Structure 1
């Protein structure tokens, strides 16, 4: 198996799926660290493209949004519920990824 060239990967759906997928895996398996593996794998895969497409500063900003969204979803869930919180942070992370890394220049 060969990974696509980092500059050719669209990261917005990966960021969204990492957050949503991590939540689903943790919830359905009952093993929270397993959800973290999904979150981490998607973040690493998107991160290599963020570096290639947006440079170090852009990648750091997107990683902050991605991981910050993970943390924020826990706080937000207490106010609006788990699914709305996860979907909200996934949408924000995907939008940021598109604006910073994926949008045609």
Structure 2
């Protein structure tokens, strides 16, 4: 499992470098939203096949579903709060400094 995590982090890091250096053609960048959506939908479809084929998951679906809903709600709520805090303290502060420099 540790090797996979390192591989995933390395791929993310490599993608960040490629994006930062503008090494991707502009037509690919303009289609990035579509590419991401298609990849996400493919991943969800494959996960659905894997989950549907596992009899243990299906038999304990309601117990796992209840826990998944609780985890999801808290994850979404805390993510939104974190983004709002970052926006308030970092982005808004940068905009205020920019307004002061214009005077």
Give the structure-1-normalised TM-score. 0.27
Larger RCO (CA within 8 A; separation ≥ 6): 1
Larger radius of gyration: 2
Give the structure-2-normalised TM-score. 0.28
